[in-house]
Amino acid sequence: MNKKFVSIISTVIIITSLTAGQVPEFNSQRAFKHLQKQCSFGPRTPGSKAHKLCQDYIVTHLKKCSADVSLQPFPFKNPITGKTYILNNIIARFGKGTDRILLCAHWDTRPWADMDNKKENRNKGVPGANDGASGTGTLLEIASIFRQNPPPVGVDLVFFDGEDSGSYGDNDSWCQGSQYFAKNLGSVNYKYAILLDFVGDKDLHFPVEYFSNQFSKNLVDMVWSKAEELGLYPFDRTPGPQVLDDHMPLIKAGIPALDIIDFEYPYYHTTEDTPDKCSPESLGIVGTLLLHLIYE
């Protein structure tokens, strides 16, 4: 994800059928284990062994959760090296119907830690604990919940590939997976989309990302109002930065979409973006909010 301008809940899951209006609890420890597991593979950079291992891990888990899982391959040319790869968005569908909700995150990591303070680290891959694994880990735990408590509406979990290999100054080189996805929606009708990015920071704060508010204000009001109702303190109405992220292709495709993102993260695009900078409680806050939006 490319910044354009600088500008709790550890619980156990309920394994019971829910009556109307009941909301299952989010298991933040299990979500954090998903974050740690992704990072254990190493940087999930396009074309790497770690990238393939992580893809297999995500797909295997989603299939265990009884999702309708598919890969959406697309060609990708690295803007720096010129190498070409076939990357894959991972799509997991729960429930039936063409009117659906989209929850998404990116699962790849940046090949170069170009914001690292140490020059010798800038050609190394980014571990991506917060930038990638946090959103993905949250959605993987939500998939586990869907297995035991099928959502009352159709929900797609989409894990975008090729988000973080962009070149500064070339906006189209970022968010490759979401661009491809948005151009190939088919007959599905998404009522709205929520993107998770940088949601694991121990020092969590979610202002309202600029483009989300500009293009999807009603959705922002719905989501932030629910967070306020639940007493989820990191969410406030402070105007946030303009962020070029995976929600933008969705907005351009006509889908109301917002980005839940804490971009005040000093380890952005460095080798220090590691699990110790993140917390289960932060994932629990975001996961709890999503479950209330879906089940209530």
SS (H, E, C) 112-126: CCCCCCCHHHCCCCC
Residues contacting residue 56 through CB under 8 Å, at least 6 positions apart? none
Portion of the chain with pLDDT greater than 90, in percent: 90
Query: Residue 31: enclosing H or E segment and its boundaries?
Result: helix 28-40
Interatomic CA distance for residues 99 and 188, integer angstroms: 7
Model confidence pLDDT, tens digit, residues 210-250: 999 999 999 999 999 999 999 999 999 999 999 999 999 99
What is the per-residue pLDDT for 15? 34
Interatomic CA distance for residues 125 and 132, integer angstroms: 13
CATH code given to domain 2-295 = 3.40.630.10
Q: What is the DSSP string of 195-235?
A: EEES--BSS--EEE-HHHHHH-HHHHHHHHHHHHHHT-TTE
pLDDT at 6 > cutoff 90 = no
pLDDT at 32 > cutoff 50 = yes
| pTM for this entry | 0.93
> How many Cα atoms sit within 13 Å of 50 on the Cβ side?
20
Model confidence pLDDT, tens digit, residues 175-190: 999 999 999 999 999 9
β-bridge pairing 154-160 and 206-208: unpaired
What is the per-residue pLDDT for 272? 99
Interatomic CA distance for residues 264 and 267, integer angstroms: 9
What is the per-residue pLDDT for 20? 56
Q: Is 207 left (phi over 0), alpha (psi -120 to 50) or beta?
A: beta
Domain ranges of the chain: 2-295
Q: How many residues does the chain have?
A: 296
Residues contacting residue 149 through CB under 8 Å, at least 6 positions apart? 14, 16, 17, 18, 24, 295
Portion of the chain with pLDDT greater than 70, in percent: 93
Kindly state the average pLDDT of the residues 261-285: 99
What is the per-residue pLDDT for 236? 96
Token look-up 């090949």 returns: 111
What backbone phi and psi angles, to 5 degrees, belong to 208? -90, 115
What is the per-residue pLDDT for 146? 98
In this structure, what DSSP letter does residue 25 have? P
Kindly state the average pLDDT of the residues 103-108: 99
Please report, as a single letter, which amino acid is at residue 221: D
Token look-up 């729960």 returns: 94
What is the per-residue pLDDT for 97? 86
Interatomic CA distance for residues 239 and 120, integer angstroms: 36
Kindly state the average pLDDT of the residues 164-181: 96
What is the per-residue pLDDT for 82? 87
